[in-house]
Every structure is written in C-alpha cells, then in structure tokens.
Chain A
C-alpha cells in the first residue's frame, strides 16, 4: 500500500542553524501539507501546497519557514534559523485531490530537536 515517507526520522541541530525536512508524498497525490506537534500539545497545521505554490498557511508559518517541491517526488520544509521552540515532531501529509472531502494521509514524522 502506498504511503508517505519522511527523512530523517530524527534531526538534532543547534539553535540558529538551517534544517531541511524531506517528504515523499504518495505518488499520484497532488496536495501536500506540513503539520507539527510540540510535545504534549495538539497537532497544528503549518502549510498546504498545490500546483507548485502555497495555497494556505497558518500564523505559525512565518518568514523563517519555506516549502519547495524540487522535483517530481520530494516535498521539503526548510527552517532558516532554528529556535528552541521549533523543537517538535513535523508531519508531512498528502491527499489525492483538492476536493474538500478528500482524505489526508500522514507520514511517520521527523522529530526535530533544537539545542
């Protein structure tokens, strides 16, 4: 069964460093998302991406964040200058269509630890 994959599973970085989190969505999916979950808190939406552009972003997704689909399979989240409060589990998700009734499928997550 097709699934969303994410690499790395765990990333440790120093405050102020740039990190890139990678995702491979399900191959015939067109809509991509990033969410995050700070330890002990709710899963929060960051950004959605369709047709090579951001379609929606939350107030969390400020100028230090960016997303890119560099080729036909990868979808990346870049954090330009990490802060301690960026430590969280980051989930990538994808859905096949843009229909509002469509199901989102999540990857296993990347645990980001900022020291």
Chain B
C-alpha cells in the first residue's frame, strides 16, 4: 500500500528565505506527483504536476523535483513571502490504483514578515 510522508510537519521562516519542502513515497511505480497548496478551511490549489518521466517542473518561484527511483520529491520556494503561508500537500497517482491520488499529511508553512 502506498504511503506518502511529508517532512517537516511545520516550518516557520523569515520573509525572503529560500526553502525546501520534502515528500517521500514508498511505491515508486507512479504516473505523476502533484503539489497542492491549502489555505485554512479552503480547498486545494494545484501548484505543479510533475510526470514520472520528468525530473523537474517550474512555475514562477516554485520548482518541484522528482526522483522516482528513490521515492522522493522536493518543492523549492524561492524568496518566500508572507502570502506563501499555507499548508503544502503532495499527492501521487500510482500505476496500479486507477486514478486516485494518495496524499501526504502536508507541511504547514509560516513565512514571517
């Protein structure tokens, strides 16, 4: 059974700092990995989708990397801003479990002004 883990559970940084969020998964047979942002009491906003054949995907200040064989992904946020404060979730779509996404528990990020 696929297990997705995110470390750290919470992170607090000063504004302007570059930071890395980690996601690991136990079964490397995945089609893709999605990073989401969740604001308190709100829905999930898709940030980046990285296919299993890709190593990196970039959108603005965000860069996601994927090392499928080792079961790891990182989300790099450059020059963090207070508006980046949210919970960041990663989710994988497995080759053997249809279309479902399996989520990690998230990293709660606070960027202090």
Task: Please choose the segment from A14-22, A64-72, A80-88, A103-111 that sits at the chain B interface, where 4 or more of its residues have CB less than 8 A away.
Answer: A103-111
Please tell me if A91 contacts chain B, counting CB pairs below 8 Å.
yes
Q: Tell me if B51 and A105 are in contact (CB < 8 A).
A: no
A-B contact pairs, 5 of them (CB 8 A): A31-B99, A43-B91, A56-B97, A103-B46, A104-B46
Contact A42 B100 (CB under 8 A): no
A33 and B99 contacting across the interface, CB-CB below 8 Å? yes
Q: Which residues of B contact A95 (CB under 8 A)?
A: 99
Distance between Cα atoms of A45 and B91 in the complex (Å): 11
| Dominant secondary structure at the B interface | strand
Chain B 42-96 residues near chain A, CB threshold 8 A: 42-46, 49, 51, 89, 91, 93, 95
A12 interface hit (Cβ, 8 Å): no
Is there an interface contact between B42 and A109, defined as CB atoms closer than 8 Å?
Answer: yes
Q: How far is the CA of A100 from the CA of B89 in the complex (A)?
A: 20
**B binding-site residues for A, Cβ under 8 Å:** 31-32, 34, 36, 41-46, 49, 51, 89, 91, 93, 95, 97-106
Chain A interface size band reads: 20 to 34
CB pair B99 A56 closer than 8 Å: yes
Instruction: Using known A-B contacts A31-B99, A43-B89, A103-B46, determine if residue A111 contacts B41 with beta carbons closer than 8 Å.
Output: yes
- Majority secondary structure, A binding face: strand
Minimal beta-carbon separation of B12 from chain A (angstroms) = 19
Within 8 A of B (CB), among A50-74: 55-56, 58
Pair B98/A103 contact, Cβ less than 8 Å = no
A35 to B101, CA, bound (A): 9
Given known A-B contacts A43-B103, A101-B51, A106-B44, A55 and B98 have beta carbons under 8 A apart: yes
A107, B100: Cβ atoms under 8 Å? no
A103 touching B34 in the complex, CB below 8 Å, given contacts A31-B99, A33-B99, A48-B99: yes
